């Protein structure tokens, strides 16, 4: 059976001040011999060494995936990262406690919550306590860094194989809203909403809600119901 997907994204931004006029003046004042910024390569900033640096200046084995790359490749969960990161393997078991993230063939096959995973997952500089927590929907992500090799020194976890360093989007100075809808012909549904903006002159917020549901890919012939499905509700927030 062929699988069709329908993916819709809508966003809006409301800013104060003469932004349009400022951009127009800057474009008019640009010297004729200066190269156009749109023709230059994108500068990717990573925090793999606990400081903001350009990707080409970081002396570690890292694959940096920006928000645009994740959007274009429809990356919605940890398992989808294997399409973009060589050496990363995700194995699914009968329940989340049996799921395994492996890097270069090294992983932890254990459902004990006290067992340190060989591949650590860090979200906004906070390491997840055990591996089953990692298998969640990736929402409102600004950047994912796949670091290969031992990372024990900087990330505070016994990660002998590597680290998935996930950075979510920061609050914005102006009010923004983004809605997302996703539907497939085999019954998978997903909806998301992001709100961001200022609460005062010194405080900004960002709130994201994502709800997903999948009926399953196996039909129980006894009662006609679908099995082997999944559902999830993820809420994340930031104050800055």
Q: What is the pLDDT of residue 202?
A: 93
| Mean pLDDT of the 19-32 span | 44
Who has greater pLDDT, 16 or 138? Answer: 138
Q: What is the pLDDT of residue 24?
A: 40
Mean pLDDT of the chain: 77
Q: What is the pLDDT of residue 28?
A: 46
Q: What is the pLDDT of residue 175?
A: 95
3-state secondary structure of 91: strand
CA distance 202 to 84: 38
Who has greater pLDDT, 2 or 85? Answer: 85
CA distance 188 to 197: 31
Residue 121 has pLDDT above 80, yes or no: yes
CA distance 209 to 232: 11
For 166-183, what is each residue's pLDDT tens digit? 999 999 999 999 998 888
3-state secondary structure of 155: helix
3-state secondary structure of 25: helix
CA distance 206 to 30: 35
Contact 103, 150 (CB under 8 A): no
Residue 20 has pLDDT above 50, yes or no: no
- 237: region left, alpha or beta (phi > 0 left; psi from -120 to 50 alpha): beta
For 186-213, what is each residue's pLDDT tens digit? 888 989 999 999 999 999 999 999 998 9
For 61-71, what is each residue's pLDDT tens digit? 678 888 899 98
| Mean pLDDT of the 153-166 span | 78
Q: What is the pLDDT of residue 234?
A: 87
Give the percent of the chain with pLDDT over 70.
69
CA distance 150 to 119: 9
16 falls in which pLDDT band (50, 70, 90)?
Answer: very low
């Amino acid at each position: 059976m062929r699988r069709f997907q329908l993916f819709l994204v809508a966003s809006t931004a409301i800013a104060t001040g003469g932004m349009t006029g400022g951009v127009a003046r800057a474009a008019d004042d640009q010297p004729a011999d200066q190269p156009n910024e749109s023709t230059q390569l994108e500068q990717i900033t990573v925090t793999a060494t606990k400081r903001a640096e350009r990707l080409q200046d970081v002396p570690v084995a890292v694959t940096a995936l920006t928000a645009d790359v994740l959007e274009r490749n429809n990356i919605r969960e940890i398992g989808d990262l294997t399409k973009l990161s060589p050496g990363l393997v995700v194995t699914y078991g009968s329940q989340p406690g049996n799921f395994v993230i492996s890097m270069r063939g090294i992983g932890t096959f254990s459902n004990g919550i006290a067992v340190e995973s060989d591949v650590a997952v860090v979200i906004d500089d906070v390491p997840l306590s055990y591996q089953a927590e990692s298998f969640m929907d990736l929402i409102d992500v600004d950047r994912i860094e796949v670091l290969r090799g031992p990372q024990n020194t900087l990330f505070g976890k016994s990660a002998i194989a590597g680290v998935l360093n996930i950075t979510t989007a920061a609050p914005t100075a102006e009010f923004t809203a983004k809605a997302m809808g996703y539907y497939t012909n085999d019954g998978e549904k997903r909806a998301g909403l992001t709100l961001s903006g200022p609460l005062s002159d010194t405080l900004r917020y960002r709130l994201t809600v994502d709800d997903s549901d999948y009926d399953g890919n196996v039909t129980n012939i006894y009662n006609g119901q679908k099995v082997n499905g999944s559902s999830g509700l993820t809420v994340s927030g930031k104050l800055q």
